[in-house]
Copies of this chain bind each other. A is one copy, B any other.
Amino acid sequence: MTTTSMKDVARAAGVSVGTVSNVLNRPDAVAEETRSRVQAAIAELGYVRNDSARQLRAGRSRTVAVVVLDVANPFFTDVVRGAEPLIESAGGVVTVCDSGEDVRRERRHLEILEEQRVLGLLITPVDDTSASWIERLSGHDIPLVLVDRGAGRHPHCSVAVDDVHGGRLAAQHLADRGHTRIAFVGGPASIPQVADRLAGCREVCDEAGVALEVFTTAGLNFAAGREAVEQMLGLAERPTAMFCANDLVALGALQALTMHGVKVPQECAIIGYDDIDFAAAAAVPLSSIRQPRSQLGRTAAQLLFDEIGEGAGHTHRNVVFQPELVARASTSQEL
């Protein structure tokens, strides 16, 4: 290994290591002539700073980690994209960790992130059992912001979208269309977003006298939607509309229904959640509940840096956005 260190540069330039460090970090404190000599040496030797050493000294890294439920879900990539500019312009480095809706994977990531002494964390926890780990990080002075997580009674900053309300919007839309027997598809039930959306949905169904059938899935992806449809088609009395916990599930369901020759929306309406780009491009353009994805990310990053800046005497803020109904062809049929 021929890793060049500051010492080598110092020797080559005929100065002390302190001076090399200054050239890198406070160029103004170094005389013009010396500076260029050092820079020449750096270029010549192909010297690259060792971040580990820097971090060790600094006590903290400049990495901000974003822990999401599913990187393959465009919802989350948009959230990340929203957060990045702010983090990078603050000199931070973004790293994305995928928990895959799995508490164990999430935990492994958190362990590593803590060992890395990350600057901060934006996290969408898998479920409530994540709480103890999150408290641990927080207790070890790692600032964090909960993303897309109810402005619950958590002692943290958070950004969220009102999922209960989103559930209501979706159910109300279906009820308005005349449906009296609908299915909710999503899971696992332990995921707070799923629970909240279902709660809002149930609320409206109860009020409006709509029968609600719940299909609990193992995850929130294509396959889940397909499987739920297989199950639903076996029923004697089939719902006339489905509310899927997110668009991936809805697209999976749509695909399965189409395969089975069930006409959407005539024989079965579908509404999804998130309004990802693919929703509008689907076989039958998908009605959905839109969330301000990138704003969610932006705001989360903002809150994080506020917290980092304010230090100890910081009071947590919980920002809640309102979701919005986007009606398209997949629910266009009046019953």
The interface bits of chain A over 175-186 (1 if a CB of B lies within 8 angstroms of the residue's CB, else 0) are 000000000000
With A49-B115, A71-B96, A115-B50: A3-B59 Cβ-Cβ less than 8 Å: yes
Smallest Cβ distance from A226 to chain B, in angstroms? 10
The interface bits of chain A over 16-55 (1 if a CB of B lies within 8 angstroms of the residue's CB, else 0) are 0000000000000000000000000000001011111101
Chain B residues contacting A72 (CB-CB under 8 Å) are 74, 77-78, 81
A56 on interface, CB distance cutoff 8 Å: yes
**Residue in contact with A281 in the complex, picked from B50, B71, B78, B222, CB distance below 8 Å:** B222
Q: How far is the CA of A115 from the CA of B3 in the complex (A)?
A: 11
**Residue in contact with A51 in the complex, picked from B80, B115, B136, B277, CB distance below 8 Å:** B115
A103 on interface, CB distance cutoff 8 Å: no
- Closest residue on chain B to residue A95 by CB atoms: B95
Q: How far is the CA of A136 from the CA of B47 in the complex (A)?
A: 11
Stretch from A156-164, A212-220, A248-256 that touches the partner: A248-256
A285 on interface, CB distance cutoff 8 Å: yes
Q: How far is the CA of A222 from the CA of B112 in the complex (A)?
A: 35
Q: How far is the CA of A263 from the CA of B92 in the complex (A)?
A: 48
Indicate if the CB atoms of A117 and B285 lie closer than 8 Å. no
Smallest Cβ distance from A213 to chain B, in angstroms? 23
A153 on interface, CB distance cutoff 8 Å: no
A283 on interface, CB distance cutoff 8 Å: yes
**Residue in contact with A52 in the complex, picked from B80, B116, B139, B284, CB distance below 8 Å:** B116
Indicate if the CB atoms of A71 and B77 lie closer than 8 Å. yes
Q: How far is the CA of A141 from the CA of B3 in the complex (A)?
A: 9
Which residues of A91-124 are within 8 A (CB) of B? 93, 95-96, 112, 114-117
Indicate if the CB atoms of A93 and B112 lie closer than 8 Å. yes
Chain B residues contacting A78 (CB-CB under 8 Å) are 72
Which residues of A49-87 are within 8 A (CB) of B? 49-53, 55-56, 59, 61, 71-72, 74, 77-78, 80-81
- Closest residue on chain B to residue A80 by CB atoms: B71
Q: How far is the CA of A138 from the CA of B151 in the complex (A)?
A: 47
- Most interface-central of A72, A280, A283 (chain B CB within 10 A): A72
